[in-house]
Chain A
């Protein structure tokens, strides 16, 4: 039976999950099938799991989704260390017995979710999926459309099984069109959308363009919102809904003013680096210490005058080169040299505090340690320790917004180990008997290890 919006207020219709006790959160009682990979998709289901939905990751012991539980199932030491230099990696840079349970990326977005394993390339695996669809409220996936096709996962089929299902599909470019089958990651999709060329350095070759992934975060938030919208649509119509949320189409609006300037004026912005469209100062300056930086910007004359006072050059405020924003923008190279000379021998956090006290917008470029020790985040209770059975206890952030009704929503349970919740899902949720479960085990569906053939 599908969980009903009104019946499950107290989670009464939902079988008790021994490893995942009912937290009494807003989305308690809703079940979501999670077939997401890499980052944008998992980030969306993380939002919903945080707020209480029972998110069931459908995984497989015979297929390793690249870059979801790490780069490889059984990475060589060199690969583990390579991840470390990118700021990711595994506890103590050791792959451990089951490296797939030790990925910093997976363990950060996998919290509060459950994991089952099933081989969807078999009839009985497909039957298990159908049973799961029948008792779920949503399905979220962000795969290449044809890999979903191959597994028979389509709106036409699933909505037959459960007409009240809310299905969120997040392909990179859409369910149709010439790029339907074009396999990309977030950074490639962002290049198509135009981001890195705008973002990169002004005075050196675009060969140095950074590969960031801001789009994935927005894609995740967008898909979580889409699911809530689907629920409201269902409540009003009694029907499920397919929402197509291509990450590229979700991302282009984040470049809105560039789209509009091209559309209105034919203007093409490239290689902006840290400069603003029209404000100066507005840059990143070197501070004292190894790889230490601080940002400073002014958007009005009061801020500019205050900055001149703090850097003990009050005469600059009336200097013809800098006396108004237009002059400063014109002469920003000289301006940056003056400011950079002042910042170079001072600590970034001191500069930030000193300038903010004087009413000048400034922020230290915070590395991971700065963030984990930051006093604002500390005051706000932003991080909470979360134990993981194979990775140890580490601090994880609460939700990205705070609710007065539920002020402590955040990490409750560790990211699921591969197949950790098989027994609960097969027996309690899907209703398979002990014998049937043993049969799934015999046929290789059930497990907490990837098949030895997987590298």
Chain B
């Protein structure tokens, strides 16, 4: 008897992916992880701009060598399609007819001008869910403003309170705000699909603004927006140490972030083996520990202690003594981290241009009966699945495709 292959939640769902760059592809990547058939529509010849963005494998540029592209487009199929041609648009409409979800990240109005907006696509597929992901949303005074990670975080996120009081505010690393918005687009798409399938709704149109997704949540912005209304005080960047024992302390091989405060200081003192301090009223009583002078007084105790230890030694001591803290890891530390290694987090994926290299692993693990998570498929080569998709789904012949190729449609 053969056991049927356990299903993934979306393995009967088809997504037409009209996104490019970083936010949209991150969102469809997550839906692909849940099993969806994500058909990525790319511009002929050049493809998604991230194909030409670093980092490249061995620092050698090439459309199949961008780490950013490879990471963002696992579990997808790629077809090329020239949407500036009527035939290209016709093929897209044919693909949309039986798709469940379209996700797109063009500037507002672009698809409408091509006759491919939600109003047009809904006519050929009334149960379609369409998700648009843009910098500021589909309407409003900023609709056509330009956006890049830096300024979207500045406007939407809590940049004003990130960093040190005597220095400039800091963005988050890399493209985190864009990715987060992509994640929200995945949730929006799923909420649309849920309505169609569980609530018998006609399709839905989801409007996702990166600015608004950052404003909603990142760095607990929600709580700060409420806090300002409650108290009239705005969030500010903290000083290096605002709580006794807390802050980033230097170790022999790096740095360690420790949470301090009157509540935690007895544990920190015990961790350091300096219990005799707790016999003094400054440290042994709640009132003593809460005095603001203790913040600076404690630094000459804690810093020599951490400096004599590696950040991992400090981490182990902290865990043992219920002190909240963690090392400031590098990527190298992360790859070698015992927890990530034990859970086999990083996934090796083979690829014709790069060979087998490690990728970030799954966001979530589904504990299906008798089944591990299915392996991820590498990112597609540009147009790798054009023939497979157009013959398999639309029933075109190889001659049809040769003609389309000759005319620059695919």
Contacts and interface: CB of A to CB of B under 8 A. Distances in A.
A182 to B, nearest CB: 5
A194 interface: yes
Pick the 8 closest A-B CB pairs, nearest first: A87-B235, A363-B151, A260-B67, A105-B223, A368-B228, A217-B217, A188-B326, A104-B227
Interface residues of A, number: 162
A401 B184 contact: yes
B393 interface: no
Interface in B240-276: 240, 247-250, 255, 257, 259
A74 interface: no
B123 interface: no
Contacts of B179: 218, 253-254, 256
Contacts of B339: 173-174, 177-179, 182, 192, 248
A89 B231 contact: yes
Contacts of A229: 9-10, 34, 190, 366
B342 interface: yes
A201 B170 contact: yes
B72 to A, nearest CB: 7
24 contacts: A27-B194, A47-B187, A93-B233, A109-B222, A187-B257, A191-B328, A194-B331, A200-B170, A201-B167, A214-B219, A249-B364, A253-B363, A254-B174, A254-B176, A256-B174, A261-B67, A262-B331, A262-B335, A278-B54, A295-B151, A366-B160, A371-B225, A395-B229, A404-B205
A401 B141 contact: no
Contact of B175 (A196, A257, A261): A257
A299 B32 CA distance: 30
B364 A403 contact: no
Contacts of B366: 229, 233, 241-243
Nearest to A215: B176
A325 B238 CA distance: 34
B264 to A, nearest CB: 11
Contact of B330 (A102, A187, A197, A236): A197
Contacts of A276: 150
B248 A206 contact: yes
A174 B205 CA distance: 35
B148 interface: yes
A188 B324 contact: yes
A414 to B, nearest CB: 12
Interface string B322-361: 1011111111111101111011011000000010011111
Contact of B357 (A264, A270, A402): A264
A194 B161 contact: no
Given A222-B364, A282-B150, 4 more contacts: A177-B343, A225-B30, A263-B346, A401-B212
A331 to B, nearest CB: 19
B249 A207 contact: yes
A160 interface: no
Given A222-B363, A237-B7, A401 B208 contact: yes
Nearest to B334: A194
Contact of A403 (B185, B191, B230, B257): B191
Given A200-B170, A221-B180, A403 B146 contact: no
B259 A185 contact: yes
Interface in A257-286: 257-265, 267-270, 272-274, 276-278, 282-284, 286
B170 to A, nearest CB: 6
Contacts of A242: 366-367
Contacts of A92: 230-231
Given A224-B187, A397-B215, A108 B204 contact: no
Interface string A160-174: 000000000000011
B136 interface: yes
Contacts of A207: 240, 247-250, 255
A401 B146 contact: no
Interface string A38-78: 01000100010001000000000000000000000000001
Q: Which of B71, B219, B354, B363 has the most chain A CB atoms inside 10 A of its CB?
A: B363
B327 to A, nearest CB: 6
Given A225-B183, A297-B151, A194 B9 contact: no
A211 interface: yes
Overall SS of chain B's interface? mixed
A360 B146 contact: yes
Contacts of B342: 176-178
A402 B207 contact: yes
A295 B154 contact: yes
Interface string A295-318: 111010001000000000000000
A369 interface: yes
A204 interface: yes
B328 A197 contact: yes
Nearest to B207: A402
Contacts of A47: 187
A256 B365 contact: no
A286 to B, nearest CB: 7
Interface in A4-30: 5-6, 9, 26-27
B296 interface: no
B168 A208 contact: no
A195 B34 CA distance: 26
A91 interface: yes
Nearest to A273: B170
Interface stretch (B84-92, B195-203, B399-407): B195-203
